[in-house]
């Protein structure tokens, strides 16, 4: 799964991806950018 990295300004494959549920109940995926190590976040299921 890919997410947009704000620091790299590019779509990157999510490293250490884990499914989370936001406060409003929507599913999301959270992880780390493999290039720069910044947190990346993607709303929605896999």
30 vs 45: which has the higher pLDDT: 30
Q: How far apart are CA 34 and CA 29, in angstroms?
A: 15
State the residue range of the domain holding 24.
2-43
Work out the number of other CB atoms within 10 angstroms of the CB of residue 43.
Answer: 10
Closest to 13 (Cα-Cα) out of 22, 3, 24: 3
Q: Which residues, at least 6 apart from 36, have a Cβ–Cβ distance to it below 8 Å?
A: 5, 7, 8
- Quote the mean pLDDT of the chain: 95
What total number of domains does the chain contain? 1
Closest to 5 (Cα-Cα) out of 30, 33, 28, 29: 33
pLDDT > 80? residue 46: no
């Amino acid at each position: 799964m890919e997410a947009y990295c704000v620091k790299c300004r590019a779509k990157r494959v999510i490293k250490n991806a884990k499914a989370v549920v936001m406060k409003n109940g929507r599913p999301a995926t959270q992880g780390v950018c493999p290039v720069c190590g910044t947190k990346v976040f993607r709303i929605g299921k896999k």
